[in-house]
Amino acid sequence: MTQNKNIIKHSLLEAFLKSAQEMDIPGLVLIYGESFLVKQTFKIMSCFILEKDKQKFALEILEGGMVSMGDIIEQVSTFSFLVSKKVVAVKNIPLFQTQKNSTDISFSSSDLDRLMDFIVKGIPKNHYLILTTSLVDKRKKIYKTIADKGLIIDCSVAQGARKADQDEQNAVLQTIADKILSTSEKTIDNQAFKTLVDLTGFNLGILSQNLEKLIAYSGKAKIISTADVKAVVKRDKKDPIFYLTNAVMAKDIKNALFYLNSLFNEGFHPLQILKSFENLIRKLILVKCFTQKVSKNNKMSLKKMNFNSFKQSVLPKVIHYDEQIKISMEDRDQYLSNEDLKKNANKANDLFLAPNPKNAYPVFQTFQKSENFSLNELNQALIFLGDLDYKLKSSSIDAKTQIENFIIKICRKGGFEHDTEKY
């Protein structure tokens, strides 16, 4: 599949602009993705199109959700008496999103048709329309029209936990850090940078602010050290909930309690955390039952198995198992009403061991870490969570203490034991 030359990644923007002529920039530019990168890219594009001293007169910024399609088109079509070039920017335009609240202006299909017609006919010469948004839907006609007639700059960054996703995030963080530090002719050593990222997470705005503080704090020193980071930076990182569940699967009590505390500080509801644990334990029970059924008398040595061996010997059996589950579900669905089907639609993936077999590594990790638990231990844990769910909904108890108690029990070496008489 050939890459559309009108779609470029944010990391290639500067190289693109170095070789680009003014006439190479179309009248329509869509910038989408991570908010910090979108803001940076918008600044670079507007400066490239307009001379800095003319931006005050030639740049008009509108807020998406507050302006109608008619107003946008009218502003782009109106000529200025003061400057020859004109840029109209619509930030956070809801081209691909539904209406958030009653005060927002949302676009109808006829609005989008009107915009596409305007784009196809051509934006007036020396006039530019720059649109920014967080998310796009590449299946929609409006996206394809912009990709055909305009320029799309992709500022999205993978948000998953896979190694490839983490590598992409780290590369973006390093690039941002290098740009900020280069202006002050400073660098940051590797351990200090790792400490900084551990404290801030993937938050480019906070990373940028903290680097500015470190530049000021380090004074005349050319290298920012770990001691500098620890002295200046407070923990601002927001941990995704899968960090907590991964720590529990690894029976890592220290990190599990740390991430639990972080989630509570971020305002997570106890029932959200409880639900994540319930889903995790159910998944591990499914895995244990599957491995017992498949291995029979020959116990699988998943702990010693590498990823390639798992893909060759275990994954095909997992996929076959999921296919059998799918057939059983289809047979069941024939007896259910449409309303019942809707209620059960979201539960379907919970029954599959590998909902996305093309991304097999997380499946491999779950299978390996299931070896940390016995089936009886997991059953006891699920009963405990059920009892705790009832207590949280029916009485006033210290939710955090009870969930900490669950983590300590499930992670300890002696195995999980649940005394039902206490609940």
The CATH number of the domain holding residue 327 is 1.20.272.10
Q: What are phi and psi of 190, to 5 degrees?
A: -60, -45
**Mean pLDDT comparison of 26-40, 283-297, 345-359, highest-scoring range:** 26-40
Six token digits for residue 398: 């210290």
Residues 297, 400, single domain; the answer is: yes
> Mean pLDDT for the chain?
84
Q: For 93-102, 106-115, 167-176, which range has the lowest pLDDT when averaged over its residues?
A: 93-102
**Mean pLDDT comparison of 24-28, 39-43, 234-238, 297-301, highest-scoring range:** 39-43
Q: Final residue of a domain: which of 204, 232, 260?
A: 232
Residues 168, 151, single domain; the answer is: no
**Mean pLDDT comparison of 102-116, 227-241, 242-256, 327-341, highest-scoring range:** 242-256
Nearest to 416 by CA among 302, 253, 275, 291: 253
Residue 181's pLDDT is 93
Query: Where in the sequence is the domain holding 211, given as residue range(s)?
Result: 163-232
Residues 200, 305, single domain; the answer is: no
Say if pTM beats, i.e. exceeds, 0.75. no
Residue 306 has pLDDT above 50, yes or no: yes
Q: Final residue of a domain: which of 155, 177, 195?
A: 155
Nearest to 360 by CA among 156, 158, 163: 163
- The per-residue pLDDT for range 194-239, each reduced to its tens digit, is 999 888 888 888 899 999 999 999 888 999 999 999 998 887 666 6
Residue 73 has pLDDT above 50, yes or no: yes
Residues 291, 409, single domain; the answer is: yes
Q: Where are the beta strands (DSSP E) in 44-159?
A: 59-63, 86-91, 127-133, 151-155
Residues 113, 55, single domain; the answer is: yes
Average pLDDT (118-142) is 92
* Interstrand relation of 127-133 and 151-155 (parallel, antiparallel or unpaired): unpaired
> Residue 44 half-sphere exposure, CB side, CA atoms within 13 Å?
20
Residues 21, 45, single domain; the answer is: yes
Residue 114 has pLDDT above 90, yes or no: yes
Residues 45, 135, single domain; the answer is: yes
Residue 417's pLDDT is 67
Residues 403, 276, single domain; the answer is: yes
Residue 291 burial by Cβ neighbours in a 10 Å radius (0-12, 13-18, 19+)? buried
Measured distance between the N- and C-terminal CA atoms of the chain, rounded to whole angstroms: 59
Does residue 110 lie in a domain region?
yes
Residues 227, 275, single domain; the answer is: no
> Residue 56 half-sphere exposure, CB side, CA atoms within 13 Å?
1
Residues 260, 400, single domain; the answer is: yes
Return the CATH number at 137: 3.40.50.300
Residues 324, 389, single domain; the answer is: yes
Does residue 2 lie in a domain region?
no
pLDDT-based confidence at 329, cuts 50/70/90? confident
Does residue 391 lie in a domain region?
yes
Domains held by the chain: number: 3
Contact 381, 410 (CB under 8 A): yes
Residues 266, 347, single domain; the answer is: yes
Does residue 139 lie in a domain region?
yes
Does residue 85 lie in a domain region?
yes
Residue 70's pLDDT is 93
Residue 52 has pLDDT above 70, yes or no: no
Does residue 225 lie in a domain region?
yes
- The per-residue pLDDT for range 339-369, each reduced to its tens digit, is 554 455 444 556 788 877 777 888 888 898 9
Return the CATH number at 190: 1.10.8.60
3-state class (DSSP) for residue 187: strand
Does residue 126 lie in a domain region?
yes
Average pLDDT (143-162) is 89
CA distance 419 to 84: 79
**Rounded alpha-carbon distances, angstroms, from residue 136 to 97, 139, 256, 418:** 8, 9, 35, 48
pLDDT-based confidence at 415, cuts 50/70/90? low
Residue 276 has pLDDT above 70, yes or no: yes
Does residue 181 lie in a domain region?
yes
Residue 393 has pLDDT above 50, yes or no: yes
Q: Final residue of a domain: which of 123, 155, 187?
A: 155
pLDDT-based confidence at 171, cuts 50/70/90? very high
